[in-house]
Structure 1
Amino acid sequence: MPIINPCYASSPALQHIRRFIADAATSPAAGDGAWIEPETGARCFATPFPVLQLPRFFASSDVFADALQSEIRAVPLQHRSNDLFDFYQSWDAQALDGVHIQGLRRAMASPPILRFIETVLGVDGLMAGRVDLAAQRYERGGYLLCHDDDIKEEVEAGVARRVAFVYYLVDAAWSAEDGGALALFDTVDGQPGRIVRRLVPERGALVLFRVGETSWHQVEEVRARLAGRARWSVTGWLYGPPPLLDGMVPQFHSLRPKMPLADWICADYLTDAAKTRISEQFINESMVQLQEFLRGDVRDKLAGAMRLLRRYHSAHGDTVLAWQTNGPASLRRYAQWHTAMTIEDASIAEAAQLLNDFDAFLQSEALAHYLQHVTGLSMVDIAASGVFGQLRRVVHGDYTLLRDDWREPSGLDVLLHILTTPDEAKATGDDAVAWPDTTAEDGASWQGAYHYINEEDGDLLATLTPADNALTLVYRDEGVARFLKYSLQEDGEVERLDAMYTFAVDLADDQ
């Protein structure tokens, strides 16, 4: 079993670290809330929440790290991927029998290390002998999105994670350019705000932080390009009592006035025969996708509006409100269309108005009547029925997450995508973005699919891959949740327009 490096057990170093963590958040002399303890080289951060990065934490650090990594490399790690993360992970270390893996587990639950952690982080009552940990490997493109580690224990009431730790096994040359940093968020009104600090993984270093209502963090996307390089680590938790989170729930609002369907929808979908075919498929499968749903000229105008607004936003930055980043990071990251924007440039104003009109059409009574006809679902008194949703701009790194305190009302989901192709960008002289060699029909290249899962057991029910100018209708019943998978674009940053709306359905009439 590894033992703590003697330099960390010295009384002066221990007290220096404890005092800084306890006092820095309220002391004007603390500067930006960061300090390096001179004896140990420990990097201490009091803000945005208490975090310690402790290099060479164990005695004989290099020898132990090498031996531990050799054991972990021999363990079959399972690929795990969902709304929150994408990495490879072992089972809990209790199921692993390696000498050094079990040694690390016993060390982290031992009285000397528990006393050290309680002292420097200012926590008490850590459970002796109780620790969870697992080995992880993040390959290129791997990530773990914003979360706070505050997961309530289901087996033992009143017991939850109190301290999180990460023991890094990256190679000695790992740098910020390789990605995989531990990014720390500040907290605004109880939710994660912006990233204010990044900790680059360091071989043999142990990171510790208190788990609670403000411990928002993420593992940023790994960008290491050389074959065989990965972000290796062992992560774990020590236990105590959990805090609670307030909920945030979207609400239905009333529909917009009628708008002519023929101004927007391809004429082929407005015939009685087409409506009948759509209805038959939807009744059988509870979902249907309609290719080339919008009129061709409407689709092209929307794509052109996206390009104009992107260039305008690039030139004016955050001084315009065409797109607003939608958070908090523990729930989502994408840009939402802001309809109250005022723009003086005539062509840009016209592009903005087109998106305003498109947004209104997708929430209109006319579309609600059409959807009721082609799905057979009963809307709740269409004149007073409800809808919620938005236009989204989705780029590399955007996502939504599942949370117990944020559940969308069930209903008829309406999804429509506009994907701008490289040829379109070249035709308009738009070289501000490195466009990949793909086409709008090549949905797999666009990443960022929407996944529907069973909330009870987590089983995947459906995956909706973006397709250009395709309308997808999905009846999302109670107990079904959806999320936007983290959008990876290896060949350059591309953008797409996602129209995401949900119409209220009269469940009593559709049983």
Structure 2
Amino acid sequence: MTNRTHDRSPSPQPDSEPSLLKRLKSSHLSDPAVSSATADPTPHFAPDLFNPSNIHRLHTEYDASNPFKHVVVDKLFQDDLLQRVKDEALSELSFSEKETDIYKVYQTGDLASLNYLDEQQIALLPSLLTLRDALYSPMFRNFLRAVTGCGPLSGTKQDMSIVSYRKGCHLLNHDDVIGSRRVSYILYMPLPHYQGWQREWGGALELYPVKPVPDGMPEPEAVPSKSIPPVWNQFVFFEVQPGHSFHSVEEVVVGESEDGRQRLSISGWFHAAQPGEEGYQPEPQPELKSSREQLASTQTDFKNYPENIEPPLPTEPLSEEHVSFLSEFLNPVYLQARTMKALASRFVDESSLELHSFLCAPLADKLRVGLKDKDDADGLGPNRPTRIPPHTAGVEGAWQLRGPPHKWRYCTLKAPEGGSKMAVSPRWAHADPDEAIRSLQDELFPSPAFRAWLACVSNLLPLRYTAEARRFRPGLDYTLATSEANETRLDVVLGLTPQVDGLDTVAHNGHANGEETAPEHGWQSGEWGGWECYMAPHDEEDDPAVYRSGSSKKKNGQSTNGTNGHAQNGEVEMHDEEEDDEEDEEDDGTLLTVQPGFNRLLLVLRDEGVMRFVKYVSAAAEGSRWDICGEFEIGMVQEESGDES
């Protein structure tokens, strides 16, 4: 993939202007009781915090902690100061929504920008300024050094913001390694603080153990081993370590409408001493790669087609044998010669297609009902006992968990015991939903017949392939943005996500067989996540993973560009997408987003360097996101004359 210089966690952006203020209140005056930045910070902290015996206790706990070294300080500041900070933040600061492949949060600008405010503006934030200066004071930095043994910390390079996790907000697995960061911290101010934050509301800090892999690069386990729910005035910190300090923030599943609940916190980093500061040393090259660098090393493991089978030519029609095989799986409309010719023409122009009602009706009906029932049986349906399922949900029986979570987390099918049991025709006729999906993964996608069909509709020659059935559980699963920097690929994804409220028959233009447009809900609106996203390569100084909310990029399940086929009445109707409005045409690097759907085949010609990911599936979703994900190496077709076409 392209070089990714952006942070893998929500990092505040410096504000040279005082734009983080909502408004100026000239009538507000500074609180004379609040100490200035030059005063002794000790009175602002909890009693005995700097007591040598307390520091020794915390250091002992730090050394013995798992899954990596960290400390939880039960009370950091005086409560009255933190309450004033909370009030100032809510009344005077502006929170901006930020969303990428790895997080969704509401965040202020970098609070280092407080230095640029004039006296009148600073008068609105006296307690916040006091807290910030106390955190980065020499006394507190020495406290952190004594507990962690992390070495000299900078007092000039400050890196902190106030973050609000509201309903649906989350932060996925990463290790915080970037630049000169040395210590990561979070100070909790959950609201309403008088009530106490309940664990079932989500928002816990999750810490992950690591395991060695053959190349010697540790990777996080798929499931966290420690969960720290937010508590008022609690302070958590740890030394940032490449390949070790893997953590995430669980999705918040309650909203502001419920007693004003939000997971409010102050978070940031202490950096190593900077040039000119005492104890400065140039940053050594780390022995282990950061989670961000490990994303760049992702590669696909392809399988070869049988050598004794002649590769198909896009110009040749499907053989009777191929049509016979494919008719057991596909809607017969997509096997008509004129349909494939029309699709090929569109694909050449648009480089992507989304084909509705792709599977034959009996197979689609089996999967539609069976997958909903499976979610209910696994505690992943709309009536599950907790909004965030346990990490073990859905991984018994035929499914297993796939990580590592700093790249992806979802469920895949286990290899069948004793080989395939399906010997009848059609192959899925008497199979349960799991085996029907396995038939698509192991029989349809790798088949020479499907290879020939892909050649016909894409004018490309599939050379090697990989196919994987995937189940993304609500509140748990996702993939992060990755790419193959030097290869062009054909992505073929069969969406099998059952819709809700009768929306599974809604066609791509918002109509189902002439019915009126259905209202946006759930998957269609983007509120449940799970959308497939493609992003253009970026320059090193850009942030390649930032994009607008999926709901603004997609309407009624429509992709942002591309052409769509709808199988109706024995033929396919072709529709061009309407142009996005002026706001959506803003160049934010997003090439294509496609919301989860049922019985839809997505074909995308992915150029080298283009990144793709599946957005985290929210705990609000009323079931899993299912698909068969195929990826194909492609080649050009050599004509007999020797010319390439």
Q: TM class by shorter-chain length? A: 0.7 to 0.9
DSSP-derived class of the 1:239 partner: strand
Q: Does 1:366 align with 2:449?
A: yes
Which one of the candidate residues 121, 130, 138 is aligned to 1:103?
Answer: 130
In the superposition, relative to structure 1, how do residues 409 and 390 fare at CA in structure 2: closer, same or farther (>3 Å)? farther
Structure 2 CA distance for aligned equivalents of residues 310 and 139 of structure 1: 26
Assess if the C-alpha contact under 8 Å between 2:176 and 2:245 holds in 1: yes
Q: Does 1:13 align with 2:54?
A: yes
Which is worse superposed, 305-314 or 231-240?
305-314
In the superposition, relative to structure 1, how do residues 254 and 311 fare at CA in structure 2: closer, same or farther (>3 Å)? farther
Consecutive unaligned residues of structure 2, counting only runs of 5 or more, are: 1-36, 118-124, 213-217, 273-282, 310-320, 380-391, 423-428, 503-517, 545-588, 639-643
Structure 1 CA distance for aligned equivalents of residues 498 and 486 of structure 2: 29
Structure 2 CA distance for aligned equivalents of residues 200 and 95 of structure 1: 30
Shift of 1:352: 4.3
Greater Rg over alpha carbons, structure: 2
DSSP-derived class of the 2:209 partner: strand
Structure 2 CA distance for aligned equivalents of residues 320 and 478 of structure 1: 37
Q: Does 1:279 align with 2:279?
A: no
Q: Does 1:192 align with 2:275?
A: no
In the superposition, relative to structure 1, how do residues 16 and 423 fare at CA in structure 2: closer, same or farther (>3 Å)? closer
| Match of residue 221 from structure 1 | 251
Assess if the C-alpha contact under 8 Å between 1:249 and 1:408 holds in 2: no
Deviation track 1:467-490 (CA, whole Å, cap 9, x = no partner) reads 211111111111211111111252
User: Normalization by structure 1: what TM-score?
Assistant: 0.81
Assess if the C-alpha contact under 8 Å between 2:478 and 2:617 holds in 1: no
Assess if the C-alpha contact under 8 Å between 1:93 and 1:132 holds in 2: yes
Which is worse superposed, 183-192 or 237-246?
237-246
Shift of 1:102: 3.6
Assess if the C-alpha contact under 8 Å between 2:375 and 2:624 holds in 1: no
Deviation track 1:17-43 (CA, whole Å, cap 9, x = no partner) reads 213323x2xxxxxxxxxxxxxxxxxxx
| Match of residue 507 from structure 2 | none
Structure 2 CA distance for aligned equivalents of residues 208 and 223 of structure 1: 24
| Match of residue 634 from structure 2 | 505
User: Normalization by structure 2: what TM-score?
Assistant: 0.65
In the superposition, relative to structure 1, how do residues 170 and 250 fare at CA in structure 2: closer, same or farther (>3 Å)? same
| Match of residue 431 from structure 1 | none
| Match of residue 498 from structure 2 | 420
| Match of residue 524 from structure 2 | 443
Assess if the C-alpha contact under 8 Å between 1:83 and 1:399 holds in 2: no
- Matched to 1:400, the amino acid is Y
Higher relative contact order (CA 8 A, sep 6+): 2
DSSP-derived class of the 2:197 partner: coil
| Match of residue 62 from structure 1 | 79
Assess if the C-alpha contact under 8 Å between 1:421 and 1:439 holds in 2: no
TM alignment of 1:249-328, pairs within 5 A? 249-255=299-305, 260-306=325-371, 320-328=396-404
Structure 2 CA distance for aligned equivalents of residues 205 and 144 of structure 1: 19
Structure 2 CA distance for aligned equivalents of residues 498 and 319 of structure 1: 16
The share of aligned pairs that are identical, in percent, is 26
Structure 2 CA distance for aligned equivalents of residues 49 and 395 of structure 1: 27
| Match of residue 244 from structure 1 | 288
TM alignment of 1:139-218, pairs within 5 A? 139-151=166-178, 153=179, 160-171=180-191, 172=193, 173-189=196-212, 190-193=218-221, 194-212=223-241, 213-218=243-248
Assess if the C-alpha contact under 8 Å between 1:309 and 1:348 holds in 2: no
| Match of residue 156 from structure 1 | none
Higher percent of residues as helix:
1
Which is worse superposed, 362-371 or 235-244?
235-244
Assess if the C-alpha contact under 8 Å between 1:308 and 1:351 holds in 2: no
Assess if the C-alpha contact under 8 Å between 1:422 and 1:438 holds in 2: no
Structure 2 CA distance for aligned equivalents of residues 178 and 470 of structure 1: 34
Structure 1 CA distance for aligned equivalents of residues 61 and 625 of structure 2: 46
In the superposition, relative to structure 1, how do residues 275 and 210 fare at CA in structure 2: closer, same or farther (>3 Å)? same
Structure 2 CA distance for aligned equivalents of residues 439 and 77 of structure 1: 27
- Matched to 2:267, the amino acid is T
Which one of the candidate residues 125, 140, 147 is aligned to 1:120?
Answer: 147
| Match of residue 331 from structure 1 | 407
DSSP-derived class of the 2:49 partner: helix
How many aligned positions are there? Answer: 461
Structure 2 CA distance for aligned equivalents of residues 220 and 442 of structure 1: 21
- Matched to 1:389, the amino acid is A
| Match of residue 71 from structure 2 | 52
Shift of 1:201: 1.1
